[in-house]
Amino acid sequence: MSEIIPVFFNGGHLKCPPGWNRKRHSHSFFQIIIVYQGNMVIHINGKKLTAHPGDIVFYPGNTPHREYNGDENSLEIIYLDWEGPPIELPLIIHDRNGRIRILAEWLLSDYKNSLYANRERAEDSLLQTLLLETEKNALDKTDDFVQIVKTTIYEKLGEMLTLDILAEIFQMNKFTFLRRYKILTGKTPIDEVRQIRLERARDLVISTDLSFREISERTGLKNEFHMSRVFKKYLLVPPGYFRKNH
């Protein structure tokens, strides 16, 4: 008897505007959503969850759920639909090293190119590899701590966030907190704060008409002048460049 394998049949890349809201629904197939930009709020199994950039959302078949854009800027996602044998995954998994996103982009690229032979077999093989990578990420429990810290940073982005404040939130000695985070990620918690602030500010510059002053306040970058200095230091160009060229 031949092995039953997952069969990919649909996928795409969506940009959902502020206010986007998909009412409660379900489907018989399995689905994965990869969040590129923005925050997606999900109501499923009596829970309210928020998926941030780099998160993978897994929807089992025949499971009612509702999803909407939880932010004031655009939500950008990739979705992949497939049928096959049952699979058990957490509802939200973080793509620790970006491999799931790369595989999804590769899969969609093949899906759009219908001109070569064995395309469907290649798609199913890529889907199997993607699901194995997702399961691998889900089994790594050390990532839970990192994801909780990142979620906390997102939720408090407009506030002052120092090593002492973060360590107090997690009720840890600050040196223990620093050491554990650096071992797991290769960077300090404050490096993470800086990166998330910068990426969030860049996304808001590109996808909204908010003033630079408003963006700097929302992302904890003090003011528009400090934000401009940070952009030039780490992105090599000022905020205005992104707004003009995107």
Exposure on the CB side of residue 151, measured as CA atoms within 13 A: 16
- The DSSP annotation for 48-80 comes to EEEEPTTEEEEE-TT--EEEEE-SSS-EEEEEE
212 and 107: one domain? no
What percent of the chain lies above the pLDDT cut of 70?
94
Q: Helix, strand, or coil here: 87?
A: coil
| In contact, 104 and 79? CB cutoff 8 Å | no
12 and 122: one domain? yes
The pair of structure tokens assigned to 46 is 């009596």
State the pLDDT confidence band at 1, using cuts at 50, 70 and 90: very low
What percent of the chain lies above the pLDDT cut of 90?
48
pLDDT surpasses 70 at 67: yes
Among 117, 140, 163, give the residue marking a domain's end: 140
The CATH number covering residue 54 comes to 2.60.120.280
Helix axes 189-207, 174-185, angle to 10 degrees: 60
- pLDDT single digits (tens) 190-226: 999 999 999 889 988 887 888 999 999 999 998 999 9
Q: Whole-number mean pLDDT of the chain?
A: 88
Query: What pLDDT score was predicted for residue 83?
Result: 94
Domain span at 98: 7-140
| Domains held by the chain: number | 2
114 and 232: one domain? no
149 and 133: one domain? no
In a domain, 2, yes or no: no
36 and 124: one domain? yes
What amino acid occupies position 159?
E
State the pLDDT confidence band at 142, using cuts at 50, 70 and 90: low
The CATH number covering residue 207 comes to 1.10.10.60
Among 99, 119, 140, give the residue marking a domain's end: 140
- pLDDT single digits (tens) 89-131: 889 888 877 889 889 988 888 777 665 556 778 888 899 999 9
State the pLDDT confidence band at 137, using cuts at 50, 70 and 90: confident
- pLDDT single digits (tens) 153-185: 988 888 999 999 999 998 889 998 999 899 888
Spatial distance between the Cα atoms of 208 and 210, rounded to a whole number of angstroms: 6
The pair of structure tokens assigned to 9 is 């049949």
Among 88, 118, 140, give the residue marking a domain's end: 140
What are the beta bridge partners of residue 75?
Answer: 16
The total of other beta-carbon atoms located within 10 Å of residue 181's CB is 24
pLDDT surpasses 50 at 9: yes
50 and 121: one domain? yes
201 and 241: one domain? yes
Query: What pLDDT score was predicted for residue 151?
Result: 83
82 and 16: one domain? yes
96 and 150: one domain? no
Q: Helix, strand, or coil here: 20?
A: coil
